[in-house]
Amino acid sequence: MKIGIVFGGKSYEHEISIVSAIAMKDVLKDELVYIFCDTNREFYHIPTDKIKSKLFSSGEYKKCDILNFSKEGFSKKAMFGVKPFDLDVVLNITHGGDGEDGLLASLFEFANIPYIGPRKGACSVSFNKFLTKGYAQSVGVKAIDYKYFTKNDKVEIHSFPVIIKPVTLGSSIGVSIVKSQEELDYALDVAFEFDEAVIVEPFISGIKEYNLAGTKVNGEFVFSIIEEPQKAEFLDFDKKYLDFTRTSQALEANISEELKDRIRDSFKAIYNNTFEGSLIRCDFFVQEDEVYLNEINPIPGSMANYLFEDFNLVLTSLAKSLPKQKDIKITYEYVNKIQASKGK
């Protein structure tokens, strides 16, 4: 199988996407073809044996072959015209904007390219944390209480500590823990540098967090282990991603089978049919024996490969059971009836 790894994008999480893409070399056994989308949204074919982070920070990637994109998919210039860039499936590993907001999903569907990743509807409810809260509650999964503010709103907080999050960013970018009124204005300035809206949640020190990744293969759920991430009070950007080439398997959380089942049931409700065709990771909080959704990662860092015993098998199995686009036949029957009724 020839898997096209599409990564980069015009996003605050551009660099994280590069690190995730490079990590795939260590965990996928099929032929990998790297397709880099730079901040100008130009596509480049990056030879697999040359891919390394410095290639991008130095701008050396611009010496690689440019790829064109059209309704026929990716293509490359050849001696006589253009040559189709054949792939069996695309893995969308573009974190943040472009990858998780639905832009690339729309391109792939427009060109009828089979791809692993969130579809447009899934992007809508997972990219925006405000919409995620409503979606979770609509499918019967609890979410931590929150308040929503836009850039022009007067933000009033009466109880501290709180955590402030930009609505459409991941990877802890722009996130702050605020413990007093004096810290509030600065934290809001930081968050609003990245986004036009924020959500404010109570910060609950020592709350238990559990991560679960999964997908659907031929209609059946495939789950990873449930991990209890070991971390400090708050996992900021640097702590989260300095070792983001993580490929060694994580340790399973030491929790009861009953709690595991409730976390899996919450994951099933979130995944539903909305996220079919993607491998996602959901991060849950557990407080006083209640399970709450923290966030949905529709394109998790390094594809959460470290949570699976055989990630390669899971991903290639998913690639063979992707949802098909409905073939809509246009007959112009309605238009013809209107014309006929007018005698034209």
pLDDT at 65: 95
Token digits of residue 341: 């009724």
pLDDT tens digits, one per residue of 188-205 = 999 999 999 999 999 988
Superfamily of domain 124-141+205-319: ATP-grasp fold, B domain (3.30.470.20)
Q: Using DSSP, state whether 300 is helix, strand or coil.
A: coil
The phi-psi region of residue 341 (left if phi > 0; otherwise alpha if psi is between -120 and 50; otherwise beta) is alpha
Q: Is 32 exposed, middle or buried (0-12, 13-18, 19+ CB in 10 A)?
A: middle
With 90 as the cut, is the pLDDT of residue 339 above it? Answer: no
φ/ψ (deg, to 5) at 236 = -80, 180
φ/ψ (deg, to 5) at 100 = -105, -5
Q: Using DSSP, state whether 183 is helix, strand or coil.
A: helix
What is the average per-residue pLDDT within 56-84?
92
What is the average per-residue pLDDT within 138-160?
94
With 70 as the cut, is the pLDDT of residue 215 above it? Answer: yes
Average pLDDT of every residue of the chain: 92
How far is 314 from 310, CA to CA, in rounded Å? Answer: 7
Q: pTM higher than 0.75 for the full model?
A: yes
304 contacts 213 by C-beta, under 8 angstroms: yes
Q: In what order do the strands lie in the sheet with 280-287?
A: 142-143, 290-297, 280-287, 208-217, 220-227
Distant-in-sequence contacts of 62-67, Cβ < 8 A, 24+ apart: 62/38, 64/36, 66/42, 67/35, 67/43
- Non-local (6+) Cβ contacts of 314 within 8 A are 215, 217, 222, 279, 308
Q: What is the architecture, at CATH level 2, of domain 2-116?
A: 3-Layer(aba) Sandwich (3.40)
pLDDT tens digits, one per residue of 16-28 = 999 999 999 999 9
Q: At the top level of CATH, which class does the domain 147-202 belong to?
A: alpha beta
How far is 323 from 167, CA to CA, in rounded Å? Answer: 29
pLDDT at 242: 46
The alpha helices in the chain, defined as continuous H runs, are: 14-27, 53-57, 103-110, 120-127, 129-138, 181-194, 237-241, 257-271, 311-319, 333-341
Residue 171 is given by DSSP the state T
With 90 as the cut, is the pLDDT of residue 217 above it? Answer: yes
Q: Using DSSP, state whether 120 is helix, strand or coil.
A: helix
Largest CA distance in the chain: 75
DSSP string, 22-80: HHHHHH--SEEEEEEE-TT--EEEE-GGG--HHHHHTSGGGGSEEEEEETTEEEEEETT
Domain ranges of the chain: 2-116, 124-141+205-319, 147-202
What is the average per-residue pLDDT within 78-94?
90
Q: Residue 232: pLDDT band by 50, 70, 90 thresholds?
A: low
Q: Residue 249: pLDDT band by 50, 70, 90 thresholds?
A: confident
Q: In what order do the strands lie in the sheet with 147-150?
A: 147-150, 197-202, 162-166, 176-178
Quickly tell me which residue has 């970018």 as its tokens: 173
